[in-house]
Structure 1
Amino acid sequence: AAIILFAGRFTPGTVNSNDLRPNPAAFTFAALLLVGLGFPVWLAHLRPALTCFATAARRRPAYAAVWLTTAAVIVATIALACTNPHGWNRDLWWDGVRFTLLRNWPLIYIDHLPALRVVAGCTVVFAALAVAHLCRAQRHGRALALTLPFGVALLGSNYLVDPRYYLAPAAFLLLFLAPARRDFFLLAAWWAFIALAHDPFILAGYSLW
């Protein structure tokens, strides 16, 4: 707490360290991680979710129009205003080291390509809807929902985009999550595949998250 109050950031290091201010790219990257890490489960539930939304839209078209308009505004805002301001997130390679930080690749390309900013906006909307549906469907939905404002506050207070800052909300999410048996094994297999695919690059010193 003393470091934060005195230095205005979480670490007393260089000027480009983790300042105590929001970075919209942190939320974009969090959405990418959420969708990517849960991809097989989201894919398995996508068709029923779309059917449910279509049914609700027919019954309450005005309500659906409000949601679609809100989603379009979010996508447009991200597409027009999304930036990647932190210096440590703006490079793929550095002199004297051979590894690259995987998190910087999507951040840099989203920052430079308008089409990817649209995709990023759609991903943020999808992630928000997926989390909302998850909280409603789970047995411990209220506990899961309680982690959301604290997770958002944590992301909003970190200027540097770094997956380690997502560990606390992710841990609470997994603590209260009670997935169906099929979803559990889908996630376990998917995460094992990601880990095994990336391990050789870590061991060779070529890439880190």
Structure 2
Amino acid sequence: MATKQNNFYLQYQLAAKAGKNADRKAFLRKAAPGAIIVAGCMLAWGGVFLHTAMMRADTRDLRAWCADEQNLTPYQQSLQDQQAADAYHSLTDYANSVTSLLASYPDLTSSLLNRIDAAGSGSGITVEFTSYDAASGVLQFNATSNTVIDIPAYVRALQNCGVFSDVDYTGYQSTNGRGQPAGYALNLRCTLAAPE
């Protein structure tokens, strides 16, 4: 007769081992996604940390290079050169604009002076030029007339002669009793018209 040997302990161990393996597999199935996420986060954090450390090193090297006197001197010189160039260009632009403005003012020539003289020649008015400002085109002169009635006609003649854009006078004064011949003096301030 054949006998069967039953080893219950061995069967117990095998059953326990199989249960543990099943529990372990179930635990690993549940824990694996979390572990993968944690590992990915740790890897990303490590990459950011390494990149930050490299950037700090580059920044430190760049600051050291910028603070180096050997590099700072040419930079300061280039800034000074740029400021000097800007000042030069500003002055050049100013000079060009002044030149163009002055070019728009007429030149005080003998023919203009003759036209001014001719405006009062028919009425016996004499003219004495006192000053001319080329920058503004302002001509100042004194006119003397023997009769007061000739003064308004002379001022109108100056306004209509085409030489001036503006004729300004403050009235007239009598020259009697001032050691001069009898007459009337007129102080005129006229702005020359731009050439056409």
Same fold (TM over 0.5): no
Q: Which has the higher contact order (CA 8 A, sep 6+)?
A: 1
| Structure ID, larger Rg | 2
Q: TM-score, length-normalised on structure 2? A: 0.20
Structure with the higher fraction of residues in strand conformation:
2
Q: Which structure carries more helix by proportion?
A: 1
Q: TM-score, with normalisation over the residues of structure 1?
A: 0.19
